Amino acid sequence: MSIALIDSNNFYAACEQSIDPSTIHRPLIVLSNNDGCVIARNAEAKCLGISMGQPYFKVRNELKKLEVEIRSSNYALYADMSQRLMSILKDKCEEIEIYSIDEAFAKVNPSYNYDLNSWAGKLRETIYQNLGLAISIGIGVNKSQSKIANYLAKTTAAYAGIFNLESISNKDKWLEKVPIEKVWGIGKNLSHWCQVRGIHNARQLRDMPSNVLRKKMGITGIRLQKELQGEQILNLSFKSAPKKETCVSKSSPYPITRIEELRQAIATHVIIASEKLRKQQQYSCKITIFARTSLYTPTFYSQSATANLILPTNNSRTLLSSALGLTEKIFHPNYLLIKTGVIMQELLSEEYLQLNLFSNNNHKELSKQERLMKRIDYLNKRYRRNTIQWGACGINQKDNNGQKHLSPSTTTRMKEIPVVYA
């Protein structure tokens, strides 16, 4: 059995280029919420030296001189393109594990073993033809090796986006080309620890003494080392682990100076978070709200407040009531609040709701509220977000406030489907 890691190249930027072909072969970047900083770049933008995380206001003039295409983050587009990508992978692969929005591990059907490169080439062609997305495919005997092969597929132009580590006779040569910080599971601190001990690449990590690695990384490090040696330790996971927390936060394009504005911002976050809980089929036992000033202000202020819920819930109305009751605890009139957010904590599955003996558990009313939430979610999904809006969120709010370079929702909104004249 072979494992392939399929990863879209520069996913956010590639999605923007797929709906606007005029940007192909031109430098393009994607900005974070409210056009705050750079979160994605295509290959041409990388060649210009544009770094990830740069504040947009600092590089705005330089980007204009370099004629860089600017796009605000369009998460509805990226989510839809991701869903389409995974749908194709499920059809073309035996089994897949969705690892992130733009990458998945796949178990390759044994019938393809005679020519995995041909299978991978056809898959790349299919995805590019259907979605306009370029992908890289790394193939190995396990997940760790497929990760390394995927890195080599992206960085070795001669292999045209496909690297099969299984078919390579001299694996040591290629493992030495993979820097230690690019090995799956090795973060910044571990990378520094390895380099201090003379471990600079994947081959050296594979061959280092196991007892030394175990002392630092425990069983996780030993599993990684064994996979680099060719054993299959980490199995594909076809069911994602339930989330322990759900956070919704956003930077405001203008300072929040009044408590009414803070309540509207918190309410908006709560509604989005409760929708996520229902989609995840989870309840929250605790809710935390927070607000802070800009990190660059000379008088920094940050405050949070938490409430325990009497009964675990994902009901928007109940969560709103608890969250709005906390806003006075975090508001300060003498500070310009820029970022606000909500964290749903101690999440439970809907299957295991424990009712409270001392609360008024009206099953008929709970069932009625659950049907109401499902109907609101359905209408907002079908007819656009905020078709049904909660008064606490404010009136006539703009979904894209602060996003001046937002691309159209050509794949998710009927009114924005492009018209082609022939």
Report the alpha-carbon distance of residue 320 to residue 182 in Å, rounded: 43
- Section 343-347 average pLDDT: 96
Angle, CA of 415, 419 and 422, to the nearest 5°: 165
Taking only the tens place, the pLDDT of each residue in 380-418 is: 888 777 788 898 888 655 554 568 898 888 887 778 888
Q: Check whether residue 20 and residue 47 sit in a common domain.
A: yes
pLDDT at 401: 58
CA distances from 174 to 83, 148, 277, 352, 387 (A): 33, 9, 44, 49, 54
3-state class (DSSP) for residue 309: strand
Residue 229: count of CB within 10 angstroms of its CB: 13
Res 155: pLDDT: 92
Distance between CA 63 and CA 57 in Å, rounded?
A: 10
Same domain, 156 and 226: no
* Chain segment 5-52, per-residue pLDDT in tens: 999 999 999 999 999 999 999 999 999 888 889 999 999 999 999 999
CATH number at residue 345: 3.30.1490.100
The pLDDT, as a whole number, for residue 413 is 78
Strand pairing partners for 53?
none
Encoded amino acid at 410, one letter: T
One domain for residues 187 and 313: no
Coil, strand, or helix at residue 2?
Answer: strand
Same domain, 74 and 210: no
Looking up residue 44, the CATH number of its domain turns out to be: 3.30.70.270
Domain membership of residue 402 (yes or no) is no
Q: Say yes or no: 2 and 145 in one domain.
A: yes
Asked whether residue 407 is assigned to any structural domain, the reply reads no
**Claim to verify: residue 224 and residue 334 sit in the same structural domain:** no
109 assigned to some structural domain:
yes
| Number of domains the chain is built from | 3
Q: Do 188 and 296 have their domain in common?
A: no
Residue 325 has pLDDT above 60, yes or no: yes
pLDDT digits (tens, 9 = 90+) for 134-163: 999 999 999 999 999 999 999 998 888 999
Q: Is 61 left (phi over 0), alpha (psi -120 to 50) or beta?
A: alpha
Task: Note whether 156 and 179 are same-domain residues.
Answer: no
> What is the domain range of residue 337?
246-389
- On whether both 263 and 371 belong to a single domain, the answer is yes
For residue 319, pLDDT beyond 70 = yes
CB-facing half-sphere around the CA of 116: CA atoms within 13 A:
25
In a domain, 411, yes or no: no
Tokens at residue 140, please? Answer: 């190995």
At 31 the pLDDT is 95
Evaluate whether 12 touches 76 at the Cβ level (below 8 Å).
Answer: no
- Residue 410 falls inside a structural domain: no
Q: What pLDDT is attached to residue 350?
A: 86
| Torsion sign, CA atoms 211, 212, 215, 218 | negative
Q: Which of these three, 103, 135, 168, is where a domain ends?
A: 168
Q: Is 220 found in the same domain as 92?
A: no
87 and 18 co-located in one domain: yes
Across the range 117-146, mean pLDDT stands at 94
Better-predicted residue by pLDDT, 287 or 415: 287
Last residue of a domain, one of 241, 269, 298: 241
Q: What pLDDT, on the 0 to 100 scale, is given for residue 276?
A: 95
State which amino acid sits at residue 98: I
Residue 381 lies in a domain: yes
Angle in degrees, CA 7, 10, 15, rounded to 5: 100
Q: Which amino acid is at 338?
A: I
pTM equals: 0.82
Can you read off the two tokens belonging to residue 83?
């869903």
Give me the mean pLDDT over the 366-372 stretch: 88
Within-domain flag for 415: no
H-type helices in 229-342, by residue range?
259-280, 316-324, 327-330
- The residue that leads in pLDDT, 238 or 38, is 38
pLDDT score for 358: 62
Residues 7 and 151 placed together within one structural domain of the fold: yes
Quick count: other Cβ atoms within 10 Å of Cβ 75? 10
CB within 8 A of 349, min separation 6: which ones? 242, 281, 282, 283
416 in any annotated domain: no
Percent of the chain whose predicted confidence (pLDDT) is above 90: 68
CATH number of domain containing 181: 1.10.150.20
Question: Where a domain ends, among 168, 202, 233?
Answer: 168
